[in-house]
Amino acid sequence: MWGGRFAGGPAAVMERINASIDFDRRLYAQDIAGSKAHCAMLVRQGIIGQQDGDAILAGLDQIEREIAEGRFAFSTALEDIHMNIEARLKEIAGEAAGRLHTARSRNDQVATDFKLWVRDAVDGLDRDLRDLLAALLDQAERHAATVMPGMTHLQPAQPVTFGHHLMAYVEMLSRDRGRLADCRKRLNECPLGAAALAGTSFQIDRAMTSRTLGFDRPAANSLDAVSDRDFACEFLSAGAILAVHLSRLAEEIVLWCSDGFRFIGLSDAFTTGSSIMPQKRNPDAAELIRAKAGRVIGAFNALLIVLKGLPLTYGKDMQEDKEPTFEAADSLSLCVVAMTGMLRDMTVNEEAMRRATEAGFITATDLADWLVRALGLPFREAHHVTGALVRLAETKGCGLAELTLADMRTVEPRLTEDVYDVLGVDRSVASRTSFGGTAPDNVRQAVAAARERLR
Ligand code: ARG
What is the best residue among 110, 118, 310 to mutate for testing ligand 1's pocket, by most ligand atoms within 8 Å of CB? 110
- Dihedral over Cα of 75, 76, 82, 87: its sign: negative
Confidence of residue 275 (pLDDT cuts 50, 70, 90): confident
Packed helices 106-142 and 440-454: angle between N→C axes, nearest 10 degrees: 150
Q: Rounded to the nearest whole angstrom, what is the distance from the C-alpha of residue 76 to the centroid of ligand 1?
A: 14
Going by CA atoms, what residue is nearest to atom 12 of ligand 1?
Answer: 319
- What is the per-residue pLDDT across 122-138, written as a single tens digit (0 to 9) for each? 999 999 999 999 999 99
Q: Rounded to the nearest whole angstrom, what is the distance from the C-alpha of residue 41 to the centroid of ligand 1?
A: 23
% pLDDT > 70, the chain: 100
- Helix, strand or coil for residue 410? coil
Amino acid at 292: K
Instruction: Assess whether pLDDT exceeds 80 at residue 2.
Output: no
Going by CA atoms, what residue is nearest to atom 11 of ligand 1?
Answer: 316
Angle at 186 between CA 180 and CA 188, to 5 degrees: 100
Confidence of residue 1 (pLDDT cuts 50, 70, 90): low
Q: What is the pTM of this model?
A: 0.95
- Return left, alpha or beta for 359; rule: phi > 0 is left, psi -120 to 50 is alpha, else beta: beta
Q: Is the CB of 104 under 6 A from ligand 1?
A: no
Q: Is the CB of 20 under 6 A from ligand 1?
A: yes
Angle at 132 between CA 127 and CA 137, to 5 degrees: 125
Q: What is the mean pLDDT of residues 145-168?
A: 97
Whole-angstrom distance, CA of residue 408 vs CA of residue 77 = 85
Q: What is the mean pLDDT of residues 421-441?
A: 95
What is the best residue among 17, 30, 107 to mutate for testing ligand 1's pocket, by most ligand atoms within 8 Å of CB? 107
Q: Is the CB of 314 under 6 A from ligand 1?
A: yes
Going by CA atoms, what residue is nearest to atom 2 of ligand 1?
Answer: 319
User: Which ligand 1 atom is nearest residue 79's CA?
Assistant: 1
Q: What is the mean pLDDT of residues 283-294?
A: 98
- More confident position, 8 or 174: 174
Look at strands 155-161 and 147-152 and give their pairing. Answer: antiparallel
Residue 165 annotated among the catalytic residues of the structure: no
Q: Which residue among 75, 258, 267, 274 is the active-site one?
A: 274
What DSSP element (H or E) covers 152? strand 147-152
Instruction: Assess whether pLDDT exceeds 90 at residue 273.
Output: no
Task: Say if residues 119 and 236 touch (Cβ distance below 8 Å).
Answer: no
Q: What is the mean pLDDT of residues 340-369?
A: 95
Instruction: Assess whether pLDDT exceeds 90 at residue 5.
Output: no
Residue 274 annotated among the catalytic residues of the structure: yes
Q: Is the CB of 80 under 6 A from ligand 1?
A: yes
Q: Is the CB of 369 under 6 A from ligand 1?
A: no
Q: Rounded to the nearest whole angstrom, what is the distance from the C-alpha of residue 33 to the centroid of ligand 1?
A: 18
Q: Is the CB of 114 under 6 A from ligand 1?
A: no
Q: Rounded to the nearest whole angstrom, what is the distance from the C-alpha of residue 211 to the centroid of ligand 1?
A: 24
pLDDT attached to residue 357:
94
Instruction: Assess whether pLDDT exceeds 80 at residue 233.
Output: yes
